[in-house]
Chains A and B, each alone.
Chain A
Amino acid sequence: MRLISKFVLAAALAFTSPAVAREVTDHGGNTVTVPDAPQRILSLHDWTLTVMTKELGAALIASAGRLAPDGDTFIRGARELFGLNFDQIALASIHGKPDLERIRSLKPDLIVANIGDYGALREQLSTIAPTLMFDAENGSKPFDLYSEYAGWIGRDARFDELKAAYDKRIADAREKLPKTLTSGTYAAILANERDGTLTILKEYGVQTSVLDDLGMGRTTLAQSVPAGQSRMTIGAELIGDIDADLIVTSYLPETGETPDSIFAALSRIAPGYEAFLRAYEAKRILSFSRYETYPPSFRGADIFLDTLAASFE
């Protein structure tokens, strides 16, 4: 049986460790031996892992991308934040349709993937290169996850640099911004114009991170999101309960939405909302491009803070 022998040989190969320096425990609970300073990182999730890897200045060679209806491929999030496209790095796979052979042909020395889409592929990916599974929605704060990830790929120093600049910026902002923005309450929502529902977000990229760091509190409704879930869908009947000092939301530019779409959506979902949402009167309903605020990134945080400052001058 030649194939059985192949199997034994392959198994032996898979367990031979290359010359490496560190052990990392990923979000799947696996301990993986990874290169000290990976030189060819391949990311399988565009708007979390690719964005973070790019921002940390690590050696990113390829990323998963999305297929637009016209057949074009693009890197969601990293395209908007860093202008990254597939002329600069290689296409690893179309999102949700992993092509292991293409991934292998790119010769990565570290693969990073999100556990929700690629958890089942870990064993096969590990035959190509050390593979780390990342879980963006395990309930931790986005910047804590980011810090952890920087450690995985050996870019702690760069992360600390960025974090220090960010902390300084937050401290500045706390002095310059109006008091309500440093001590009031906020609600992060998504409005579903189609069926008239609202989604209350517990953790949502830089949106919740920055507002938490500024010192804002959450509404009671946001605190009632069940543990282990990052969001909850409610009917528009309860729109009165998101009556916070600041309401933040996001839009998808791809679908033709703009920062003002939220107002149209709200008046459709909850006609007359202008009268009973404090934030409306104080012009504190802000909408951000989802591609800039969902990914955990300091660039995104900067954009977010810029917009915030510009709105309250």
Chain B
Amino acid sequence: MKAGLGLALATVVLCLLCALHLAAGARFSSPALVVDALFNHDPRNYQHVVVIKQRLTRLVVAGYAGAVLSVSGLLFQKILRNDLVSPSTLGINSGAVAFVILGIYIFELNGAALFWPALIGGVAAVAVTFLAAGLVSRGGRDPLSLILGGAMTATLFSSATTFAISLDPDRFGNLMGWLVGDIGNFDYQPLAWLWPVGLAGIGLAFILCRQIDLLTLGTEQAAMLGADPRLVRAGTLALAIPLAISAVCVVGPIGFVGLVAPHITRLLIGETGRVALAFCALCGAVIVITADIAARTLLAPQLLQVGTVMALCGGIAFLVIVVTTLRRRVA
């Protein structure tokens, strides 16, 4: 597919989904009502309130989370030259959750202040993952090692989370949605503090795009073409981790969008270039918005968690990716 065409198509799909997201919910709102709510807002009409305060806000949060998680995933996949890594498979999500829970339980932190423990947790998780993977790969480049290291890290940190929660589950009642990854009606409030992180991260990713692309050619080629591989790799890590953390702080550990979106991008328009980066961000937004629509409507009036819906669909997608990549390798 032509890159420009793909980008245009993704934008159209995204717009359609946004419209559907605003109209769909426990009860379907007519398009006329949605338009009214947007452009002729009546704060006393509860249906208008629903569209603006409970759907539009979720839509923004879902779009943000999807975009930054998938850009973060694409960056990881490119610099590690490993198409199985993503913020969730590297253990970043679990590391952030563990530190946030400890922050809440011990230091009674809340709101945007939780970004810092989450960031520390995310960095610690990446470090543990690399350490564990390095131990067994013995300098080799087995893509599996990083994934197994990530799984190990995830278990390590989720053990800490589990212990803190099991002491007094009632205290964490309101947090359950966040723990499994969910978009709440008020997630736009921490987002109001954290969006600069996402914006700066994606912006820098666009600027550094060429250097990162060089790296995918291999360390030697990159060095020959004038990029310092170590510097670029470190810089990209310093971009990708905060990007993912800024989403985890807002919506909790929503996994797999960071794994699946880059794969779709690669499949449709290839992974190099700025257009691919933009496409990947759009694609991630589309995925999370779709999951949010599904979570709100599948069992209506009951709500499902976006995180669990994503994990189920994303897990199946991961299985398919694994089987097809390995088949291709065998053939």
Do A and B touch each other in the complex, judged by CB within 8 A?
Answer: yes
A94 within 8 A of B: yes
Chain B residue total in the interface (Cβ 8 A): 33
**B51 nearest CB across to chain A (Å):** 9
CB within 8 Å of A: which B167-181 residues: 167-171, 173-175, 177-178
User: Would you call B177 and A97 a contact (CB within 8 A)?
Assistant: no
User: Would you call A237 and B184 a contact (CB within 8 A)?
Assistant: no
List, in ascending order, chain A residues with CB within 8 A of B183's CB.
Answer: 195
Contact of B46 among A95, A221, A255, A276 (CB under 8 A): A276
Binds A, one of B9-17, B73-81, B137-145, B296-304: B296-304
B26 within 8 A of A: yes
**A282 nearest CB across to chain B (Å):** 19
Query: Beta-carbon contacts of A217-249 to B below 8 Å, as 1s and 0s?
Result: 000010010000000111111111100000000
User: Would you call B43 and A272 a contact (CB within 8 A)?
Assistant: yes
- Closest residue of chain B to A234 (Cβ to Cβ) is B301
| Measured CA separation A271–B168 after assembly (Å) | 31
A102 within 8 A of B: no
A252 within 8 A of B: yes
User: Would you call B301 and A238 a contact (CB within 8 A)?
Assistant: yes
Contact of B303 among A69, A193, A235, A271 (CB under 8 A): A235
Contact of B186 among A194, A235, A252 (CB under 8 A): A194
User: Would you call A194 and B175 a contact (CB within 8 A)?
Assistant: yes
Which residues of A are interface residues toward B (Cβ below 8 A)? 66-67, 69, 76, 94-97, 190, 192-197, 221, 224, 232-241, 252, 254-255, 268-272, 275-276
Contact of A237 among B25, B169, B178 (CB under 8 A): B25
**A126 nearest CB across to chain B (Å):** 24
**B94 nearest CB across to chain A (Å):** 20
| Measured CA separation A69–B164 after assembly (Å) | 10
Contact of B26 among A66, A67, A238 (CB under 8 A): A238
User: Would you call B49 and A272 a contact (CB within 8 A)?
Assistant: yes
| Measured CA separation A76–B177 after assembly (Å) | 24
27 pairs, A vs B, C-beta closer than 8 Å:
A94-B167, A95-B167, A190-B173, A192-B173, A192-B184, A193-B186, A194-B177, A194-B178, A194-B184, A194-B186, A195-B178, A195-B183, A195-B184, A195-B186, A197-B303, A224-B301, A234-B303, A235-B301, A235-B303, A236-B50, A237-B25, A240-B46, A270-B49, A271-B43, A271-B53, A272-B49, A276-B46
B193 within 8 A of A: no
User: Would you call A272 and B46 a contact (CB within 8 A)?
Assistant: yes
- Closest residue of chain A to B53 (Cβ to Cβ) is A271
User: Would you call B301 and A193 a contact (CB within 8 A)?
Assistant: no
List, in ascending order, chain A residues with CB within 8 A of B27's CB.
Answer: 237-238
B54 within 8 A of A: yes
**A295 nearest CB across to chain B (Å):** 13
| Measured CA separation A125–B82 after assembly (Å) | 51
List, in ascending order, chain B residues with CB within 8 A of A190's CB.
Answer: 173
B182 within 8 A of A: yes
List, in ascending order, chain A residues with CB within 8 A of B168's CB.
Answer: 66-67, 95
Query: Beta-carbon contacts of B220-259 to A below 8 Å, as 1s and 0s?
Result: 0000000000000000000000000000000000000000
**B21 nearest CB across to chain A (Å):** 13
List, in ascending order, chain B residues with CB within 8 A of A76's CB.
Answer: 170
3 smallest CB-CB distances across A and B, nearest first, come from A195-B184, A196-B185, A194-B174
User: Would you call B49 and A271 a contact (CB within 8 A)?
Assistant: yes
Which residues of B are interface residues toward A (Cβ below 8 A)? 25-27, 43-44, 46, 49-50, 53-54, 105-106, 166-171, 173-175, 177-178, 182-187, 296, 301-303
| Measured CA separation A255–B53 after assembly (Å) | 26
List, in ascending order, chain A residues with CB within 8 A of B186's CB.
Answer: 193-196, 268
| Measured CA separation A102–B147 after assembly (Å) | 42
Given pairs A96-B166, A192-B184, A255-B171, 7 additional interface contacts (CB within 8 A): A96-B167, A97-B166, A195-B185, A196-B54, A236-B185, A252-B170, A276-B46
| Measured CA separation A69–B185 after assembly (Å) | 29
| Measured CA separation A69–B166 after assembly (Å) | 13
| Measured CA separation A311–B322 after assembly (Å) | 62
| Measured CA separation A194–B188 after assembly (Å) | 11
List, in ascending order, chain A residues with CB within 8 A of B170's CB.
Answer: 76, 252
User: Would you call B54 and A197 a contact (CB within 8 A)?
Assistant: no
User: Would you call B302 and A232 a contact (CB within 8 A)?
Assistant: yes
**A278 nearest CB across to chain B (Å):** 14
User: Would you call A193 and B54 a contact (CB within 8 A)?
Assistant: no
**B109 nearest CB across to chain A (Å):** 13
User: Would you call A237 and B302 a contact (CB within 8 A)?
Assistant: no
List, in ascending order, chain B residues with CB within 8 A of A271's CB.
Answer: 43, 49, 53
